[in-house]
Structure 1
Amino acid sequence: MLIGYARVSTDDQKLNLQMDALQQAGCAKIYSDHISGVKAARPGLSQALEIARAGDVLVVWRLDRLGRSLKDLIEIISQLDERGIELSSLSESITTTNNSGRLIFHLFGALAEFERNLIRERTTAGLVAARARGHKGGRPKALDSAKRQLAVKLYTEKQYTIVEICRLMGISKPTLYSYIAEINR
């Protein structure tokens, strides 16, 4: 079964062009959204994906009507592929029902993975450079070294309960336990 999906971003845009093209393509059911592609929740798309079964084809007028970004598009296509649902884009004449269409989507996927790896490499290099300049990552300690030692001392002397120590020092139980573990290393 061919299942159509159409989306326009603003209220002044009309679905007519997309709906006509999807009907002409032979879609038995057509779902639509009047919502920006930036929004993650798209009820029409959710309905279309809900009723689609293995062997069905999700048909869109253009690929940008389906995904918010290349990454989002690839994720949707991967979900479709896992469920045995094909995808067809009318304007780009791309379909996963044939080998050349699948190749194009694999190339898209490879490019997206390459981009993710570049971002990861840049992030790692930035962190290494920051550490080399003496910057430490993570959240700063709630207490300075002397106060941390005092909190641990109060704990080991067992004159106060853990709740009392935490209230006195203005810290949480997990923070106190992490200070204890830090000093006992």
Structure 2
Amino acid sequence: MIYGYKRPLAGDELGKQQLLGIQLDQLFIETHPFAKKRHSLEELLMIIQPGDEIVVENLVVLADSLHQLLDVLNVLAKDLVKITFLEEQLSNSTVLQLNLTETVTLFSNLQTQLKSHATTFGLAEAKKAGKTIGRPKKSDENLRKAFDMYQSKTYSLLDIKNETGISKSTLYRYIDDVTKSSYEEEKHSKHE
């Protein structure tokens, strides 16, 4: 039997760009992009028999980490099941003739893709849940205090950071914003 497996990926949330034109006996589709509760993958791994083949679009479809990839590949090896990764043109039944640099490049790219996948869907899920994304904003009162200390020219940047917790880059960004706002207000009032 030839099985296909696909799941949502960044840029292909519905899996419509995966396994195009591939003849399959049965297709397993994951309903979500996350690492946990991959029910379709578990179901597939439970029914495979020696001599079967699994086809996936790429390594990221199958695994969320190098550790998980190794676990799945070990299961497939014990069950004598072939797996083919279309995008990478790899299979667990072919001997790779890669030098060390090519091997490290392959796994470095995989690690980057895995992080990108997890980040993309993690951020989307957090936004959906109403969570604030990114670094927490510094309070306006603290920024104004840092700005006033800076303007007084009696404090060093280290003194300002120790007193307010505002970093040099945040302070400079705030100064730029204040300067830009003042410039825009002045420009607008001249045109009135």
In the superposition, the TM-score normalised over structure 2's length comes to 0.47
In the superposition, the TM-score normalised over structure 1's length comes to 0.49
